[in-house]
């Protein structure tokens, strides 16, 4: 909703959410947006490095920490309540039908490297600014891939002037050209 407000009526927000319950909430929120805000399209799928299906683990503690079974997830998920098969799509494959984004926010509970691997064309040709939450297990690959695609990486944590990006949980990737 915040992105929709910032993008304004000429913009477009595309939200990917594989959990049917959470995507339902997004659909309802999108229909209640202000006329001054960008339209919001909700796709009930997960971003990954390929297009197909995967198993989504519904977190025991809170659905905001759901994770794909192909990754470890985060400790704060509290384990798995249930699992369901969901659609996955690479961000590159979505470019066939959707405009390239100016800003890309990635918050995928351990699947960051998968998302980045499935976005090489997006990173090298569309070149959005990237906001990415990372964990200890994905940080290095995300930084290396973005750097190889000619992005500057900065720490996205407030007040983090002296911390290295190798310690950050929130990265910002800024295209150099």
Is residue 160 very low, low, confident or very high in pLDDT (cuts 50, 70, 90)?
Answer: low
Distance between CA atoms of 159 and 129, rounded to whole angstroms?
20
More reliable by pLDDT, 74 or 150: 150
DSSP 64-107: GG-EETTS---GGG-SEEEEEEEEEEEHHHHTTTSPPPSEEEE-
Find, among 83, 90, 85, 86, the residue nearest to 47 by Cα: 90
Contacts of 136 (CB under 8 A, 6+ apart): none
pLDDT, one tens digit per residue, over 93-108 is: 999 999 999 999 999 9
Predicted local confidence at residue 162, as pLDDT:
66
What SS3 state is found at 13? strand
pLDDT, one tens digit per residue, over 1-35 is: 999 999 999 999 999 999 999 999 999 999 999 99
pLDDT over 90 (residue 145)? yes
């Amino acid at each position: 909703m915040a992105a929709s407000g910032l993008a304004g009526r000429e913009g477009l927000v595309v939200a990917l959410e594989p959990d049917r319950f959470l995507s339902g909430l997004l659909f309802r929120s999108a229909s209640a947006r202000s006329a001054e805000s960008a339209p919001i399209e909700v796709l009930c799928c997960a971003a990954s490095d390929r297009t197909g299906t995967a198993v989504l683990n519904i977190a025991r503690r809170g659905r905001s920490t759901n994770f794909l079974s192909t990754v470890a997830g985060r400790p704060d998920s509290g384990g798995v309540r249930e699992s369901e098969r969901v659609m996955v799509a690479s961000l590159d494959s979505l470019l066939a039908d959707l405009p390239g984004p100016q800003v890309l926010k990635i918050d995928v509970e351990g699947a960051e490297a998968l998302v980045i691997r499935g976005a090489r064309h997006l990173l090298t040709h569309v070149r959005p600014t990237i906001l990415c939450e990372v964990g200890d297990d994905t940080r290095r690959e995300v930084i290396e891939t973005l750097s190889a695609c000619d992005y500057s990486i900065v720490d996205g944590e407030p007040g983090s002037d002296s911390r290295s990006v190798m310690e950050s949980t929130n990265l910002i990737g800024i295209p150099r050209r």
